[in-house]
Structures are given as C-alpha cells and as structure tokens.
Amino acid sequence: MRRACLLCCLLTTGCIGFHPKDPKWRQPAEASTTPAAKPRPELAWREVGRSVRGRSLRTTTLGHGPRRVLWVGGIHGDETEGMVATASLPFEFLAIPDAEARVTLTILDDANPDGRDQKTRGNANGVDLNRNFPAPNFKPIRSFGIRPLSQPEAQALHDLILALRPHLIIVAHSWRGDHFINYDGPAEEPAARFARLSGYPLRASDSFAPTPGSLGSWVGNTLRIPILTLEYLRGRQPDEAWAETRTAILSVILEG
C-alpha cells in the first residue's frame, strides 16, 4: 500500500523534479505540493558570423533597456570554465524584476567554436583570436595573425561591438593557478565592485602580462569602452565558477 502511494505521488505531483536555475537540483519529497516551475523561455539566436570551419557565431539579445552590455562566453577554445555561467546568465537575468527595462543584454555564447571543438587556445588556423584585434600594440606574427582582423571570428566580434557600442563588455576566460577580475579602459569602478562581491582579486591588464592586439587593448584603450576579463581558475568546475561569480556578474550588468 505504501509503495502504491509513493508511486502515485511521483506520477501526479512531481515529487522529483528540477529547479529552473539548476538542472542538478532535486526537489525534496516534502515540497511535492509546490506548483510546477514555469518553463524557461526559448531564446532567439541570431548568427553574426562564421568560424574558419563554418561554425556559427551566434548571439541572443534580452531586454530593451538603455544600458547596453555584451557578454562573451569564451574566446580561447581550451578555457571552458565559464560555460555554465554563459548558459545560466540569460535565465538569471530574465528572472530579475525590471532587468529587461533597464538593460539590453547581448550574449555571444562562444567566439571560438572551432577552438572549443579542438580544445585549443587558438582557432582552426592556430591563431590566438585575443591577439588579432586592431589595437596600436598589435604584433604581426603567425600565431597572432599577419594583420589585425585576419580571422573571421575576430572580424565578427569586432563588427558586433561597433554595431552595439555597449556600455560594458564582459569576457569569460581562465588562468592557470589563479583567478581574478581583470579590466581595461575606464572599467575600474565595475571591476572593483565585481571584486568586492565575488572575492576575486582585482588586476589591471598592464599589471601582469603583455597583451598585444588583445580585445581588451582595442576595446578599452582605443574605443574607451569599459571591459572586464573574468579569469576563472583553470580547471575549476563550471558550475562552481558560476556560483562564485553569479552575484557579481549580475550586479555589474545591471548597474550603470
């Protein structure tokens, strides 16, 4: 009799289910009377370019507010620690009251899909896309590209930024042996807020490594657009990386 009752509960009330913000979450049996969670909305994706091997570079745009923010889910193919953050961000953003009226958030899920497929830093041509932008410090060498924007992925991201003219750009990366928030251009204030909310140390780009032809050098120093480079600890579990930075990410997106 008890077994039959339990089976009935599972079939009719959804005692076991998944939370809309965490696919690994298991609903406790005592909460079985809670109404079913509202399904996640379908995201509309738009192709903004193609990789060397023809893979789509795609964006989705959420909200219609005056503040424009661009999130880039990755540019180095072997740095996948931000994948859960990228997948979760649209739904977390939409769940915040008035977020859509305050911000227009554009998400480029991956700027280097060929590198992601190959598990390499560079793209299918072996070029580091984060050294292929038209910054004054660009260096024309094979691994950076013989000229700025010689790679289709860099060209697509370049054109997207010029079209959007965002007030803030955030790019997900990872770093061996450390984690921190790095910034270029007039981004010290949002970077400091991010560091305070996440506990990630704050570092300016020119304080730890040269970055010739980087996205940060071009966006921050040439265009004077604030840009944050989120360096997760290399090898960090993506769900843990998101949990550590969720509050900070949403705060800098929303605050003008």
Asked if pLDDT for residue 3 goes beyond 80, the answer is no
pLDDT digits (tens, 9 = 90+) for 197-227: 999 999 877 776 788 999 999 999 999 999 9
Question: What pLDDT, on the 0 to 100 scale, is given for residue 16?
Answer: 30
Q: Indicate if the pLDDT at residue 27 is higher than 70.
A: no
Q: Looking at residue 204, what is its pLDDT?
A: 79
Per-residue pLDDT band for 256 (boundaries 50, 70, 90) equals: low
Q: Is the pLDDT of residue 254 over 50?
A: yes
The angle subtended at Cα 110 by Cα 113 and Cα 246, nearest 5°, is: 145
CB 151 within 8 A of CB 53: no
Between 37 and 177, name the one with better pLDDT. 177
Question: What one-letter code names the amino acid at 161?
Answer: I
Are 184 and 221 spatial neighbours (Cβ–Cβ below 8 Å)? yes
Lateral strand order in the sheet of 45-50: 45-50, 56-62, 103-108, 67-72, 168-175, 227-233, 180-184, 202-204
Token duo for residue 238: 């993506």
At 110, the pLDDT band (50, 70, 90 cuts) reads very high
At 256, the amino acid letter reads G
Taking only the tens place, the pLDDT of each residue in 147-205 is: 999 999 999 999 999 999 999 999 999 999 999 999 999 999 999 999 999 999 998 77
Domain range summary for the chain, segments of one domain joined by +: 1-36, 40-254
Structure-block tokens of residue 156: 């697509």
Quote the pTM value: 0.85
Q: What is the pLDDT of residue 210?
A: 82
Mean pLDDT of 67-80: 98
Tell me how far apart the alpha carbons of residues 177 and 175 are, in angstroms, rounded to a whole number: 6
Distance between CA atoms of 8 and 122, rounded to whole angstroms?
Answer: 53
DSSP string, the chain: -HHHHHHHHHHHH-SS--BTTBTT----GGGTTSPPPPPPPPPPEEEEEE-TT-PEEEEEEE---SEEEEEE--SSTT--TTHHHHHHHHHHHHTSTTHHHHEEEEEE--S-HHHHHHT-SS-TTS--GGG-S--TT---BTTTBSSTT-SHHHHHHHHHHHHH--SEEEEEEEETTB-EEEEESS-HHHHHHHHHHH-PPEEEGGGT---TT-HHIIIIIIS---EEEEEEETT--HHHHHHHHHHHHHHHHH--
Quote the distance between the C-alpha of residue 78 and its chain's center. 15
CATH code of the region 40-254: 3.40.630.10
Task: Please give the mean pLDDT across all residues of the chain.
Answer: 88
The answer to whether residue 32 scores a pLDDT higher than 70 is no
C-beta neighbour count of 159 within 10 angstroms: 13
91's CB contacts (< 8 A; 6+ apart) are 20, 21, 40, 41
